[in-house]
Amino acid sequence: QVQVVESGGGLVQPGGSLRLSCVVRGRFFRLDDMGWYRQAQGKQRELVAAISRGGSTNYTDSVKGRFTISRDNAENTVYLQMNSLKLEDTALYYCSAEIRVTLWESRNNYWGQGTQVTVSS
């Protein structure tokens, strides 16, 4: 059984930093693109950052220059370093992972349960 588990959220003041981690556990054939999404209260879930297996990245405009996504393929882990946090970054952050469980199955998207990031003075 594949599990996607996030950690690292919390309460931080504006201008502060947090680092989110997400690990994929269980047995599977291949882990491809990974990403971080967020959903603020009353808003739709949005893509924050994504990274391919080869390390190509993309970011939503509002976090460019402040957030950095990275991954460790050997550890099946993706990170999101968040600097210069703003009030509007407050949201529930979700990790997503495109996983092929066996060689004979197509890729499916797996989600974590989310980790809360609250930016407040």
What is the reported pLDDT for 4? Answer: 98
User: What pLDDT does 11 receive?
Assistant: 98
pLDDT at 47: 98
Model pLDDT, residue 102: 92
Give the number of C-alpha atoms closer than 13 A to the C-alpha of residue 67, restricted to the C-beta side. 26
Task: Report how far residue 48's alpha carbon sits from residue 38's, in angstroms, rounded to the nearest whole number.
Answer: 7
pLDDT (tens digit per residue) in 47-90: 999 999 999 999 999 999 999 999 999 999 999 999 999 999 99
Half-sphere exposure of 46 (CA within 13 A, CB side): 15
DSSP secondary-structure letter at 87?
G
d(CA 3, CA 23): 8
